[in-house]
A and B are shown apart, each in its own frame.
Chain A
Amino acid sequence: MTAAVLEINDALTQFDPVMGLEVHVELNTRSKMFCGCPTEFGAPPNTQTCPVCLGLPGALPVVNARGVESAIKIGLALNCEIAEWCRFARKNYFYPDMPKNFQTSQYDEPIAFNGWTEVVVDGETYRIEIERAHMEEDTGKSTHIGGATGRIHGADHSLVDYNRAGIPLIEIVTKTIEVPGDKAAAVARAYVSMLRDLLLALDVSDVRMDQGSLRCDANVSLKPRGSSVLGTRTETKNVNSFRSVERAITYEITRQAAVLTSGGKVLQETRHWHEDTGITTSGREKSDADDYRYFPEPDLVPVAPSREWVEELRATLPEAPSVRRARLQEEWGFTDLEMRDVINGNALEPIVATVELGVTPAAAKKWWLGELARSANESGQDLDALGVGPAQVAEVQKLVDDGALNDKLARQVFEGLLAGEGSPAEIIEKRGLALVSDDSALLDAIDRAIAANPDVVEKVNSGKPAAAGALIGAVMKDMRGQADAAKVRQLLNQKLGI
């Protein structure tokens, strides 16, 4: 069922979007939040469980100190205040893949709160206020069997895997985000992307969106242009790629605008995002009457991180990604546009690594954005999945610097590398790509070019030395590009006496 939507531009002439983003991050602790079970992804179902994470009668949780440490680091990196004293609470609701039928979470006493961060979109900086970052545990995972859609509806039985139950989660909640409507979706995307980089830099999560270790719930509402009255919001659950965050928010804006302009009412509900069709559909209707009956978790003592510990952790924080980028741009002498291309191409880290191997920033950027990013785009792969690393890029560039390759040949080496034809040396050997430095071979080719182009020679002789370029081109063509152009020019000039 596809709902009617407005064109995004039409929607934005009439409404201003208001967003709130809730990002769930699975931490990369070795054990679960409240027990010692391993957290490895992809283990056979129900092999990483114990009485605690299965919620067996009598079992009790104990807080994973590493989970708290990660939560504090995330809070600090998002400029939050860190609570001197906080507690876990029970969020009571029934769900078959939640063993205790309550989730141990934080409610009114989160570990981190009142923060902010910044994202850059099209050269503009947007400040995002952070409401809170709190600790909680993940649920198990249900697989519904027998239905056509894989959803619970229509299934005749369900299987539950509790390996994920109890894995530590941090939920990062923004305050309402109000940015110019045409930037809203892009800002949301940039925010989630920034979080991913930040979490990687903090080394607190693997942030594998495809494995669900970073999931975004997007709250969207519209208010009529010029009004300050907030509209009814929807919550689109579990959006799990940057692109989908942008698309899902854009879709919700256009859908809600269509509902409102046709005189309808937006329902407060959760919605599902469909990657394939690019639309959201209604989940369950959610009202404010949802009653989780929160109360302080009596099985756990409060968490009271000492100020010394918090300061120690603050001292270990890596340079914030935005600060680091500004520093690198300065060091590398890139323009804003060049830097944006690097970021958008996900090429920052490979370029850093390549520059560290002695390659100039410009050359590193040329290869990563030119050859490699293009190839990754074409095959829909991540850059780091291409099978070409900084070491190989540096090796090729060194051959160019040494005069053994020119750019054109180097590109062919990369082609070979991407095709898995072996090391650069092997590819040069197999494809016969080395530059010809043998003077006699070049002189032969020059003779052939002069003989074949008497009109050009005449022009040169009649005082137009610039015309010699055509002869160089002919020689290069004759040598199948494997000649050093500078050398050819030098020999040709000698020969023609110019």
Chain B
Amino acid sequence: MKSGQASSVEVTQAHLDRIAAVDGDVHAFLHVDTEGALAQARAVDDKRAAGEQLAPLAGVPLALKDVLTQEGVPTTAGSKILEGWKPPYDATVVQRLKAAGIVILGKTNMDEFAMGSSTENSAYGTTHNPWDLSRIPGGSGGGSSAAISAYEAPLAIGTDTGGSIRQPGAFTGTVGVKPTYGGTSRYGLIALASSLDTPGPCARTTLDAALLHEAIAGYDPMDSTSINQPVPAVVEAARNGDVSGLRIGVVKELGGEGYQPGVEARFHEAVELLTKLGAEVVEVSCPHFEYALPAYYLILPSEASSNLAKFDAMRYGLRVGDDGTNSAEKVTSLSREAGFGAEVKRRIILGTHALSSGYYDAYYGQAQKVRTLIARDFAKAYEQVDVLVSPATPTTAFAIGDRIDDPIAMYKNDLCTIPSNLAGNAAASFPCGLADEDGMPVGFHVMAPVMRDDLCYTVGAALESALAEQWGGVLMTKAPELEVTR
């Protein structure tokens, strides 16, 4: 676009055409804002024609996870209870995307209220993994990651509460970054668990992710938990990618039993590569990580049960049974019965119980203590090393329907990603090859201290360029051509 070879309108239209061609099979999008996107693209083209200085990603199209509010555009968080709701305001992230001239193509599919690891919990149907349409794309941000791996958009925004950017990133062979908690604004992000939720970039390359990261990150006075510090130098790190002398810690507890051999093989090869590039690799122990999953599954539903209380059918969204004979309580209960899916109800009940008097100390209080211990594990580890690494997920993308009836098996998918959310650290997943068993992508997970997001990009960029030498390009070029059926 900068060199004048294509206009933003042309690029945007090309992606809209691709969506029209493949999204019937992939189902990455819940809403495509054709007119809005083209109007934004035209505005950028006009500015460029007028010789205005534009931000690096101006005119580039993007897919937005349906959990961030965009003024006048349907926003559902993957739930029936918000069907048809058009927010009257933009999330801070969306404001910043617009200010950077980034064109928003539409809203992407997700597990309902971001609860899930497969995007099978969406009230609007499952998203399919473009690498193998019979498999899940990961969750909860399956739509965003699938959109970029299906070339429906070059960039996407996800949100990561327990791995919802990184896990689908790993499953679709794309880059997914969970910035430091508070590094990106939550204002306008429909809350799942307030103390964990973090918006972040999804892209096909490390540099793209860094550019998008830079566009959306930074202090926001509208979010009390936002960190008032300069954005880490992520773009510079992604361009540089020099890991010589970098101390990398392999987390002992994140590997071994339960991990797919193909995943472990690719992970260890990647660690080898980094060693060859001059990184210093040691094994590090984080003994409390084994309690991360149970702690997470107490904290998350507790906060969620309170955050979702506002969906009472009184002011917006779905309203069932309002026929003049039912009380307000009855209308609320009928609307919730119809509007919330099974997983959402499960977690509301769990969280309500965990917070109730007499149980608070045993559950929520205890989980918060575990959270502190995990943060200490990280702090201690970072005394020895600059970053920690692990596989992003224990397995590659599994088949649709495989784990939907086994919540615990589903929850275990986020084993590697959850500790970073509990501690508020930066973390990212980068593609590191395909598993031998199934030919599906494997994610390499990098965890960095708070506000050292740049270190994730340094490792990602080093790995990406080393692997590109082996593969003759980025991993995505190995993805099979989508067989378009509709």
Contacts and interface: CB of A to CB of B under 8 A. Distances in A.
Interface of A: 51, 54-63, 90, 92, 94, 96, 99-102, 156, 158, 160, 291, 293-295, 298-301
25 contacts: A51-B88, A51-B89, A55-B310, A56-B88, A57-B310, A58-B89, A58-B91, A58-B188, A60-B224, A62-B222, A62-B224, A92-B309, A94-B332, A100-B309, A158-B328, A293-B356, A293-B360, A295-B303, A295-B306, A295-B364, A298-B193, A299-B194, A299-B225, A300-B225, A301-B224
A409 B89 CA distance: 67
Contacts of A58: 68-69, 87, 89, 91, 187-191
B187 A295 contact: no
Pairs A-B, 7 closest by C-beta atoms:
A101-B309, A298-B194, A298-B195, A293-B355, A58-B188, A57-B190, A58-B69
A59 B315 contact: no
Interface in B152-201: 186-191, 193-195
A62 B191 contact: no
B221 interface: yes
B357 A300 contact: no
Nearest to B364: A295
Interface residues of B, number: 45
B82 interface: yes
A453 B75 CA distance: 101
Interface in B300-322: 302-303, 305-306, 309-312, 314-316
B75 A57 contact: yes
Given A96-B314, A293-B355, A301-B225, A59 B306 contact: no
Contacts, number: 100
Nearest to A97: B314
A90 B355 CA distance: 11
Contacts of B68: 58
A52 to B, nearest CB: 8
B402 interface: no
A60 B329 CA distance: 26
Nearest to A93: B309
B310 A295 contact: no
A58 B190 CA distance: 4
B82 A57 contact: yes
A158 B89 CA distance: 27
Contacts of A160: 314
Nearest to B185: A60
Interface in B220-253: 221-225
B392 interface: no
Nearest to B197: A298
B223 A101 contact: no
Given A96-B314, A102-B306, A293-B357, A57 B77 contact: yes
B355 A57 contact: no
B75 A94 contact: no
Contacts of A54: 315
Interface string B329-358: 100100000000000000000001001110
Contacts of A90: 306
B187 A56 contact: no
A101 B224 contact: no
Contacts of B89: 51, 56, 58-59
Nearest to A57: B190
B328 A56 contact: no
Contacts of B186: 60, 299
B315 A99 contact: yes
A102 B224 contact: no
Nearest to A158: B328
A295 B354 CA distance: 11
A62 B316 CA distance: 23
A301 B357 CA distance: 24
A31 to B, nearest CB: 13
A99 B310 contact: yes
A59 B75 contact: no
A59 B187 contact: yes
Contacts of B314: 96, 160
A236 to B, nearest CB: 25
A418 B307 CA distance: 57
A63 B224 contact: yes
A301 B68 CA distance: 22
Interface in B48-92: 68-69, 75, 77, 82, 85, 87-89, 91
Question: Most B CB atoms within 10 A — which of A55, A60, A96, A301?
Answer: A60
Nearest to B303: A298
Contact of A60 (B88, B187, B316): B187
A62 B352 contact: no
Contact of B312 (A63, A101, A291, A298): A101
Contacts of B306: 90, 92, 102, 293, 295
A295 B312 contact: no
